[in-house]
Amino acid sequence: MSVGETPKTRTAPADRGRMDKRRAIVEAALRVFARVGYSQASLDLIATEAGVAKPTIYNHLGSKENLFRHVMTETAARSNAKTLEVLDSFPTDPGGLRPGLEDVAHKLVDCYCDEQSESVRRLLYAEALRFPDLFDEVRASGPNQFTDALAGRLARLANAGHLRIEDPERAANQFIALVYEELPGLSALGTRPLDPEQVRRIVTAGVDTFLRAFAAPDRTAEGSGTGPAVSG
């Protein structure tokens, strides 16, 4: 072991402990903010929820406003990382298009209806007037990234002739709306459980509508191939 490696090895457990404590504070703060709102939340409440001393919160994350901002952006980024994994199973061939899109839609709904994601979404809208810049920042670190990634996958399908799409970003937003937009109302913004069968019907209907709008014509019926379906 070299001299330069020794300090790093000695401090690694302490660094992990510090990160674990920071994570505990963030998760406890999200629960408190979601339960009582930003105005009624206090660092004393959050410290009790996290099982730490109040000065520990100041040492890690500073004021209540700074903590709130960090909680919102970090939780959104973590949720977004999980959501992006949904696209690992995105369909690439016409034969698996419908079942593949339904699989992606169900996984997307599961991510969006996750307890932490719902809490961030409720807080984001509740505090948009107080923190308008945070609204944009959270959107940029979460939903907007997923929409861009989904648009890229749809564009590939269109360029392969499997879909007919002029604006992949708009099509991505429409796909998300078709399979998810009804659910916040049905769940009262995540405060009531959803009926799995109802979710299944919504997802199936959403994918059906999406394919009716964007599926490429049957090449066999046309008797000829089509060129790229995405226009610049």
- Where would I find the beta strands (DSSP E) of the chain? none
Going from N- to C-terminal start, the domains of the chain cover 1-62, 73-222
Q: Among 1.10.357.10, 1.10.579.10, 1.10.10.60, 3.40.630.10, what is the CATH number of 73-222?
A: 1.10.357.10
Give the residue with greater pLDDT, 41 vs 60: 41
Token pair of 230 as six digits: 């995405």
Nearest to 101 by CA among 175, 200, 199: 175
Return the pLDDT at 139.
86
Which of 2-6, 19-23, 119-123 is least confident? 2-6
Q: How many residues are given for the chain?
A: 232
- CA distances, 102 to each of 81, 144, 156, 168, 200 (Å): 20, 21, 18, 18, 9
Return the pLDDT at 16.
65
Return the pLDDT at 118.
92
Q: Is the pLDDT of residue 227 over 50?
A: no
Q: Is the pLDDT of residue 10 over 70?
A: no
What residues form DSSP beta bridges with 163?
215
Which pLDDT tens digit goes with each residue over 155-177?
A: 999 999 999 999 999 999 999 99
CB 207 within 8 A of CB 178: yes
The CATH number assigned to the domain with range 1-62 reads: 1.10.10.60
Q: What 8-state DSSP symbol labels residue 215?
A: B
**What type of residue sits at position 232?**
G
DSSP state letters, 144-201? HHHHHHHHHHHHHHHHTTSB--S-HHHHHHHHHHHHHTTHHHHTTTTTSPPPHHHHHH
